[in-house]
Amino acid sequence: MAEQQADVVILGGGSGGYAAALRAAELNKSVILVEKDKVGGTCLHRGCIPTKALLHAGEVADLARESEQFGVQASLNGIDMAGVNTYKDGVVTRLYRGLQGLIKSRNITVVEGEGRLVGPRTVAVGNDSFTGTDLILASGSYSRTLPGLTIDGERVLASEHALELDRVPGSVIVLGGGVIGCEFASIWKSFGSEVTLIEALPHLVPLEDEASSKLLERAFRRRKINFKVNARFESVEHTSSGVRVLLEGGEALEAELLLVAVGRGPTSDGLGYEEYGVKLDRGFVIVDEFCRTSAPGVRAVGDLLPTLQLAHLGFQEGILVAEHIAGVPVVPIDYAGVPRITYSDPEVASVGLTEAQAAERLGADKITTLTYDLGGNGKSQILKTQGAVKLVAEKDGPVLGVHMVGARVGELVAEAQLIYNWEAVPIEVAALIHPHPTQSEAIGEAHLALAGKPLHVHS
């Protein structure tokens, strides 16, 4: 057995793992990065990037379909899935090559193969072992299913299978109305499929502010995306033409395909974590504010943690851990201040507390809210989008949450993140100049109104 040592050994090369590797190498640490598939992980190869490429293709299809609204004569002759997949795969390939170049330029040793802990800070890959002064666990997540529901990759799909479809399905049932479910529902509707979403909770995107959920539901009704909330899955059976899904109460739905989008679970089983002192809870690794596990010298980042499973959060955790190992002063992550986006049509974006969370934390009488309708925003009118910006703030205090629904509002959430994380009060944001005509004006207008000096809204 060959043995190698490094300052930092990282198990998993997804968003959190490779961010930690890049930053640690930049801080003059020797780094070994173990990855069983391709560096970049789920986000680059089977998640964020290819999904958003499909969403953009769907947006192009919708623009062609609706071009007469803009005075442009065009026609949509169909969706060439081979061409769409070539475009999608090209985006992924270019980003992957760029990432490989970055890793090579920083002299990071990449070990290809499936690793597991065989010592307190030692990872084995086949007959080789790699020991770090510090070990970072970043083994990521997998697509969950439900008891009795088998994902076969043919008629019952997980998101990774959906990304590789070579055809546009005539009809799809999407089980789960969270981020993944709503994004794929949006893609397939744009491509021309009949879509039905099934969500067990009272609203779609249930982690968002209830007002945002209702705006998305209204938009999906306009788009003729069917959805059922408070609906619980019972069973599925194959039919001659696809699948038949039975819900509690006896209602049955039929479609060509079923997408299971009920969330992602941590990849920790069978990797030796608990054997070497890493405490788990339902498979998630338990860490402190600096991502330290219960095992000395072992950290964990990304989807392994019982927090939001977002690539940009994984990046930040990876950077934090690398800097903490190197002795650089770091500030713990405020998880409420992590921006969240659902890239459906329309998009849903938010940062900070929902109205319900703020009321629970401070008391309903201590908070105030304001909703600015995008109907009053010039750029939103140009884009023909509908939605709103909702602010949640402490009375006579800082902004606690920003919640947005509308086309491209994901591009606005970076400013919202600054507002929340810098504990800005509405009058401070109202003093900023937002360029015209942009959708960013909606953030400015909302804060003007909350500060008591509304411009293009009724007082």
Question: What is the rounded distance in angstroms from the CA atom of residue 55 to the CA atom of residue 399?
Answer: 31
Q: Decide whether 156-262 matches 346-450 in CATH topology.
A: no
- pTM here? 0.96
Tell which residue, 282, 307, 277, has the closest CA to residue 294: 277
Per-residue pLDDT of the chain (459 residues; tens, 9 = 90+): 689 999 999 999 999 999 999 999 999 999 999 999 999 999 999 999 999 999 999 999 999 999 999 999 999 999 999 999 999 999 999 999 999 999 999 999 999 999 999 999 999 999 999 999 999 999 999 999 999 899 999 999 999 999 999 999 999 999 999 999 999 999 999 999 999 999 999 999 999 999 999 999 999 999 999 999 999 999 999 999 999 999 999 999 999 999 999 999 999 999 999 999 999 999 999 999 999 999 999 999 999 999 999 999 999 999 999 999 999 999 999 999 999 999 999 999 999 999 999 999 999 999 999 999 999 999 999 999 999 999 999 999 999 999 999 999 999 999 999 999 999 999 999 999 999 999 999 999 999 999 999 888 766
Is 436 one of the catalytic residues? Answer: yes
Residue tagged active-site, from 161, 436, 447, 456? 436
Regarding beta strands 347-352 and 399-406, do their DSSP bridges make them parallel or antiparallel, or are they unpaired? antiparallel
Pinpoint the alpha helices (H) of 147-191.
159-162, 179-191
For residue 459, what pLDDT is reported? 60
Comparing CA positions, the residue from 273, 11, 36, 280 lying closest to residue 123 is: 11
The CATH superfamily holding the domain 346-450 is FAD/NAD-linked reductase, C-terminal dimerisation domain (3.30.390.30)
Domain spans, the chain: 3-140+265-335, 156-262, 346-450
Asked if residue 322 lies in contact with residue 20, where contact means CB atoms within 8 angstroms, the answer is yes
- The CA angle 381-203-367, to the nearest 5 degrees, is 75
**Residue 270 burial (10 A CB sphere; 0-12, 13-18, 19+):** exposed
Calculate the alpha carbon distances from 130 to 7, 14, 106 in Å: 10, 19, 19
Task: Report the alpha-carbon distance of residue 242 to residue 174 in Å, rounded.
Answer: 14
pLDDT (tens digit per residue) in 366-418: 999 999 999 999 999 999 999 999 999 999 999 999 999 999 999 999 999 99
Tell me: domain 3-140+265-335, CATH 3.50.50.60, correct? Answer: yes
Measure CA 232 to chain center.
24
β pairing state of 243-247 and 284-285: unpaired
**CB atoms < 10 A from the CB of 305, how many?**
22
CATH of domain 156-262: 3.50.50.60
> Residue 231 carries which side chain, given as an amino acid letter?
A
Its sign, for the CA torsion 212, 218, 222, 228, is positive
Q: Dihedral sign for Cα 338, 341, 342, 347, please.
A: positive
- Tell me how far apart the alpha carbons of residues 267 and 46 are, in angstroms, rounded to a whole number: 15
